[in-house]
Amino acid sequence: MARRLHIPGLINVLEVTDPGEIRLLDGDSRLDRSLAPSGGVINRLRLARLRGAFVFDGEPLPALLGREAEGRESHHAELGRRLDEGAEAASWRQDTSFKTLLEGVAGQADIEALGPAAQGLLGRRFQDDYRADEATFAAARRLNDYPRVNALAAMRQRLSGQLRRDRQLLHERAQGDAMTLHATSVAVHNLVGALEAMRALVGTPGAASLPQAAVLGRCLSVPETLLRQVLVPLSTPCSPRRLVPGDLVLLRLAEGVRSSGDPGLAFMGDSWARCPARRFILALLADTWARAVAIRSGEGGR
Ligand code: HEM
């Protein structure tokens, strides 16, 4: 059900969790991904946090670009084709970190090993020599959490220079490439969330005989929230009150997927902003699961 928070001059937010409402609002071109300062004080603070974390060299990271951003559609379509080819060829099997992913999911390596291994594996889809370690993964986690931590913690991150150092480290390792930054700083957390859930599942009775779709349905980790900003006034059945420019609309994706079990929603498959990594991530997870199950049953799996 939609939830509306409206205190004039302070906060104007609409939150939706229902898959139908998520799709309806996402498809409405009067809303867009925009980090431009607008709306009440709390809306502006929220947007400033996002800019502080995810704008590099003056540009928002790829999954925060507006519909009409130059090159967005063609670059992401091209990336999708390339990642689909990687999925077809199971390109991750040649990656030096894949063994750690398998051992981590099978419970034969520390759970902490999963983060840097997944970050390195994703980074090397874009830069052959991408190097991930505990420090780069910790930096990615702090950066990704920054928009959501309380005001005091955020101020500490800024004043201590931690935020700047984290951004610098991730930017250097990504050699300044925005897509590498997105994969290794933001998207990686959904991959790690899924791998951790698989690790918890693989040791439970009957796990080995679960169908692949059931495993993915239970383990897939999706972004908590997708942010949209109202650009043009609009009335919608999703809101009791007319929405006006500067209002923020939060599409609560994780809750929508959890409560409805609607797998099509996890990567926003029918959206203008659909995730180009969908096939790659699903194939990587399916292969990792099958091999981790084989390792646990003593059949090797590599
Ligand atoms: C489990 C892993 C992942 C999940 C669940 C996921 C999910 C999503 C979702 C829901 C969106 C829509 C965002 C929005 O509309 O605001 C999105 C967009 C996007 N994702 Fe992913 N993603 C994952 C991994 C990745 C990876 C590894 C990459 C590689 C770089 C990637 C690249 C992108 C890009 C570029 C967009 C923006 C698409 C556009 O605007 O045209 N994603 N993703």
Position in ligand 1 atom list of the atom nearest CA 268: 10
Atom of ligand 1 nearest to the CA of 190: 1
d(CA 153, CA 114): 26
Spans in the chain with pLDDT lower than 70: 300-302
Q: Specify the pLDDT at position 299.
A: 73
> What pLDDT score does 111 carry?
98
Q: Name beta bridge partners: 249.
A: 14, 228
For the chain, what are the domain ranges?
3-56+66-300
Supply the pLDDT for residue 264: 86
Instruction: Report the amino acid identity of residue 64.
Output: L
Write down the pLDDT at residue 219. Answer: 96
**What is the per-residue pLDDT for 300?**
63
Quick check: CB of 266 below 6 Å from ligand 1?
Answer: yes
Closest Cα partner for 167 from 149, 187, 143?
143
Q: What is the pLDDT of residue 301?
A: 44
Q: Ligand 1 centroid vs 71 CA: distance in angstroms? A: 16
Q: 3-56+66-300: which CATH architecture?
A: Orthogonal Bundle (1.10)
Q: For residues 67 and 113, what is the distance between their CA atoms, to the nearest angstrom?
A: 36
Q: What sign has the CA pseudo-torsion 60, 164, 226, 10?
A: negative
**Integer Cα distance of 170 and 117 in angstroms:** 15
- With a 6 A CB cut-off, is 222 part of the ligand 1 pocket? yes
